[in-house]
Homo-oligomer: A and B are copies of this chain.
Amino acid sequence: MTRPRVVIVGGGFAGLAAAQALRKADAGVILIDRTNHHVFQPLLYQVATSALSPAQIAVPIRGVLGKQSNTTVILGEVTGVDTDKRDVLVDSADRLGVPVPYDYLVLATGVRHSYFGHDEFEKFAPGLKSLADAVGIRNRILRAFERAEAAEDPQAHRDLLTFVLVGAGPTGVEMAGAIAVLVRTTLRSEFRRIDPAAVRIVLIDMAQRVLGTFAEDLSRAAQARLERLGVEVRLGKGADRIDDGGVVVGGERIASKTVIWTAGVAPSPAGKWLKTTMDRAGRVLVGPDLTVQGRPEIFVAGDTASLQQDGKPLPGVAQTALQQGRYAGEAIARRIAGRPALPPFRYSDRGSMAVVGQGFALLQMGKIRASGGLVWFAWLGVHLWALAQPSLRLSVFVQWLWMLLTGQRGSRLIVNHGSTVDAKQGALGK
């Protein structure tokens, strides 16, 4: 008898944890991802703001799973699932349309940014989810400064120095703080025609406070800190319009050449592939064992799964994905080995943190709420620790230390892709 085939779609926190939980299983595990790397998402904003380089927060999935001999990694774009034949459909020039069959399936396909029906905003206001997004936003921010330095027209100069972040969740707040620090430290001495005081950073949100998932006093602390860094926080109104010239908020136009979308996320199309019940946001409803109703062989884990606990939806954070991925992998390993099933999944809250600028962070963990410099040190430690690869841990530690001591950023490069080799190839070299 052949070994059962476990297919995992997605190499984020959930998918990777699922694969690792299956390392001793008597199974053939296949992990499929559209990129060749696992990204440490919580530090993505640091790549977008030139603090870290892409290689410091991402590792090849193959490198992580290489020594796990029951596991094969495939670079490919999954386009659907045939739940009757139990096949995953992969779009890859080199597989000649050969589908990947499974006995167990883990869908851990995460989220993308959502423009709430305004997809035309994307062209002018990119979102931050992948490494390519981060490098693209880094290029935009750095280019805006370069263009401002060269600009002869005062109005163009001002528009180029106005940065608008649409959405004041953790990404928006962390980006706004990081851009403010970038302006204050690194850029100050290097431009001849840019007055750091002329740089405007505007953070907008429809909600009445920043960081809506945190407690109110923490939101207030974050906002006060942002304002001390010179960030304009504008609440209660969303973006009516985003175009080449900037953003329209509540009828008022904010002229800007650099708008970044840090607002909504939408789940992957996993629900559509499965033709199963979804919640209003489009996430797949799963049972307490993380399987899909009527399909006990299909698990959904991470941001693309919808599960309530104690009457509240689980937060869309790395810990949820990690814990669910590990649970799904273990549940499958037990079934394959004929061992008793796991008890229902329970999310264990490890707390949430957010950084505002440099030297200040927030922590909310159950009833514990704290903010300030000590929390920031804790944030540094937690994030270094969470970088699972020792090489990255060392590299990021040295980089942060260097940045603190010298004010110099790690990776302030504008690399002009798109015009040369890459434009001729798609993600899979088709």
Are B416 and A427 within 8 A (Cβ)? yes
Interface residues of A in 65-83 (CB under 8 A from B): 65-67, 72-76
- List 22 interface pairs A-B (beta carbons < 8 Å), by A numbering: A36-B414, A53-B55, A54-B415, A55-B410, A60-B190, A67-B189, A72-B149, A72-B192, A72-B193, A75-B143, A94-B148, A95-B150, A95-B152, A123-B424, A126-B420, A130-B420, A133-B421, A136-B420, A139-B422, A147-B429, A416-B422, A417-B422
Give per-residue flags for A143-186: 1 if the beta carbon is below 8 A from chain B beta carbons, else 0. 11011111111001000100000000000000000000000001
Q: CA–CA, A394 to B403, complex, Å?
A: 14
Q: Which of B95, B190, B425, B429 contacts A66 (CB 8 A)?
A: B190
Q: CA–CA, A36 to B150, complex, Å?
A: 13
User: In the assembled complex, which residues on chain B have CB atoms less than 8 Å from the CB atom of A93?
Assistant: 147
Are B391 and A406 within 8 A (Cβ)? yes
Interface size on A, residues (CB 8 A): 84
Are B150 and A94 within 8 A (Cβ)? yes
Interface residues of A in 337-389 (CB under 8 A from B): none
Are B415 and A131 within 8 A (Cβ)? yes
User: In the assembled complex, which residues on chain B have CB atoms less than 8 Å from the CB atom of A137?
Assistant: 421
Q: Which of B62, B96, B144, B412 contacts A191 (CB 8 A)?
A: B62
Q: CA–CA, A398 to B394, complex, Å?
A: 9
User: In the assembled complex, which residues on chain B have CB atoms less than 8 Å from the CB atom of A429?
Assistant: 140, 143-144, 147, 257
Shortest Cβ gap from A405 to chain B (Å): 10
Q: Nearest 10 A-B pairs (CB), nearest first?
A: A136-B421, A417-B417, A66-B190, A55-B411, A53-B55, A75-B146, A94-B151, A62-B190, A418-B418, A143-B429
Shortest Cβ gap from A122 to chain B (Å): 9
Hey, which bits of chain A sit against chain B, CB under 8 A? 35-37, 53-56, 58, 60, 62-63, 65-67, 72-76, 92-96, 98, 123, 126, 130-133, 135-137, 139-140, 142-144, 146-153, 156, 160, 186, 189-193, 257, 391, 394-395, 398-399, 402, 406, 408, 410-429
Interface centre among A144, A147, A424 (most CB of B within 10 A): A147
Instruction: Tell me the nearest residue of chain B to A416, going by C-beta.
Output: B427
Shortest Cβ gap from A349 to chain B (Å): 32
Are B36 and A413 within 8 A (Cβ)? yes
11 further interface pairs, Cβ-Cβ under 8 Å (given A132-B416, A416-B426): A35-B416, A36-B414, A54-B415, A94-B160, A133-B421, A136-B421, A146-B428, A257-B429, A391-B402, A398-B398, A423-B423
Instruction: Tell me the nearest residue of chain B to A429, going by C-beta.
Output: B143
Q: Which of B60, B66, B95, B147 contacts A94 (CB 8 A)?
A: B147
Are A136 and B422 within 8 A (Cβ)? yes
Q: CA–CA, A361 to B406, complex, Å?
A: 35
User: In the assembled complex, which residues on chain B have CB atoms less than 8 Å from the CB atom of A417?
Assistant: 132, 135-136, 417-418, 422
User: In the assembled complex, which residues on chain B have CB atoms less than 8 Å from the CB atom of A123?
Assistant: 424
Are A152 and B94 within 8 A (Cβ)? yes
Interface centre among A142, A153, A429 (most CB of B within 10 A): A429
Q: Which of B151, B190, B191, B423 contacts A418 (CB 8 A)?
A: B423
Interface centre among A96, A408, A421 (most CB of B within 10 A): A421
Instruction: Tell me the nearest residue of chain B to A62, going by C-beta.
Output: B190
Q: Which of B63, B147, B398 contacts A395 (CB 8 A)?
A: B398
Q: CA–CA, A410 to B153, complex, Å?
A: 43
Instruction: Tell me the nearest residue of chain B to A427, going by C-beta.
Output: B416
User: In the assembled complex, which residues on chain B have CB atoms less than 8 Å from the CB atom of A76?
Assistant: 150
Q: CA–CA, A240 to B42, complex, Å?
A: 50
User: In the assembled complex, which residues on chain B have CB atoms less than 8 Å from the CB atom of A62?
Assistant: 190-191
Q: CA–CA, A123 to B425, complex, Å?
A: 10
Are B427 and A132 within 8 A (Cβ)? no
